[in-house]
Structure formats: C-alpha cells, structure tokens
C-alpha cells in the first residue's frame, strides 16, 4: 500500500500514523493554569530529545474547534509542566484524563488521583506515578493550524522523581499506545550486542 498524504483526510492520516508509530510512550502531563487550576492530560506523541541539556518533547494537537488545548495554553502562559510516567496501576486514571472537560475543572480530582508537590516547578505531579520529570519550557512551536493542528512543546528537565521501590528498567513496565485506543504494557525486552 502507498499513500499520498495530500489526498488523505485528516482522520485517515492520523490512523496511518498511529498504526505505524508504535509503541508510543505516554507523557501524562500536569500543568497549572494562571488561576492555579490543575490540568492533567496524556500525550502519546512524546519522546526524549537529549541528555545534554536534558530535554523532552510532546505534541499537543489543537482541539476540535482549532484552539490550543488547556495543557498547551498553561505551558505557554506559565512556562512549566511535569511529565508523569504511566504504568498499569495508573493507566485507567490516565485514560480518563483524556476526557475533554472545562478549564475550570481540577483534573486531578476529576480522575481521582492525588497530587504531590513538585520541587522546582509549581505544577503538581501525580503522587502514584512511579516517576515524574519536572520541566521548564524551552519552546512551544505551532506546526499546524485549525482542528488537530500540530504543536511541539520542548521542555528542559530540571528535576526527576523516581519511587524508591523502582529497582531497574525491567521492573518499570510502562504503558504505551499501539494504535488509536489500544495500549500495551512493556514487560519483555531483549538485548543486542
């Protein structure tokens, strides 16, 4: 099969991309509005950028009306966010946090997770997440416009939290997306020399 993306609908392009870009780790991003309301949302277009300086990126799409979602607005206005790492115990709450709710709703309360104070940034982290990275905004780039318009957020990692019972990579078992609504738990790994 071959596809000229200029001839595909937005939905067709999206479906092809999420079928091919797998597994996609999930950035469960917590932010605060300028009014101090907590926002929590998952993004599976997420990756590390580099370790010198320590940077991560995620790509929040515009909403159905073509406007930036709350996460992007909060990051642009405050310059801070936290990437929480998703494992099976928090997977259902992560999935519920993809609900579109008003910006006046505290999404930690909405999905039933406890916030924990961050050290260097104001947005809280998810207390039950096995790990979290506090970030300051490096840049936010609008790549597209209108509904589902792509944006790229790059953040400088300024502090890392890891639960004490996390022993090694084999015990992490992160959750990743492998399609539109499908997820996988990373349990099996293999080494190549």
Bridge partners (DSSP) of residue 41 are 29
Judge whether 123 and 137 are in contact, CB under 8 Å: no
For residue 177, what are its two tokens?
A: 């997306």
Residue 167's pLDDT is 64
For the chain, 193 residues long, give each residue's pLDDT as a single digit of tens. 899 999 999 999 999 998 899 899 999 999 999 999 999 999 999 999 999 999 999 999 999 999 999 999 999 999 999 999 999 999 999 999 999 999 999 999 999 999 999 999 999 999 999 999 999 999 999 999 999 999 999 999 999 999 987 766 666 788 888 877 888 888 777 788 9
User: 73: Cβ–Cβ under 8 A, 6 or more apart, which residues?
Assistant: 33, 103
pLDDT for 178 equals 87
Superfamily of domain 27-181: Electron Transport, Fmn-binding Protein; Chain A (2.30.110.10)
Token look-up 């010198």 returns: 52
pLDDT at 192: 86
- Give the pTM: 0.93
Token pair 């300024």 is found at 158
- DSSP at 43: E
């Amino acid at each position: 099969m071959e596809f000229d993306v200029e001839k595909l609908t937005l939905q067709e392009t999206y479906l092809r991309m999420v079928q091919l870009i797998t597994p996609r780790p999930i950035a469960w991003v917590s932010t605060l509005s300028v009014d101090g309301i907590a926002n929590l949302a998952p993004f599976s277009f997420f990756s590390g950028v580099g370790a010198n300086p320590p940077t991560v990126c995620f790509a929040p799409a515009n909403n159905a009306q073509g406007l930036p979602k709350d996460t992007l607005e909060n990051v642009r206005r405050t310059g801070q966010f936290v990437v929480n790492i998703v494992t099976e115990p928090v997977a259902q709450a992560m999935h519920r946090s993809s609900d579109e709710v008003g910006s006046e709703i505290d999404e930690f309360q909405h999905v039933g997770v406890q916030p924990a104070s961050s050290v260097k940034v104001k947005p809280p982290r998810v207390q039950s997440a096995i790990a979290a990275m506090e970030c300051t905004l490096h840049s936010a780039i609008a790549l597209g416009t209108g509904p589902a318009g792509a944006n790229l957020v790059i953040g400088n990692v300024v502090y890392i939290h890891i639960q004490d019972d996390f022993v090694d990579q084999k015990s992490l078992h992160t959750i990743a997306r492998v399609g539109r609504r499908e997820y996988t738990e990373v349990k099996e790994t293999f080494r190549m020399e």
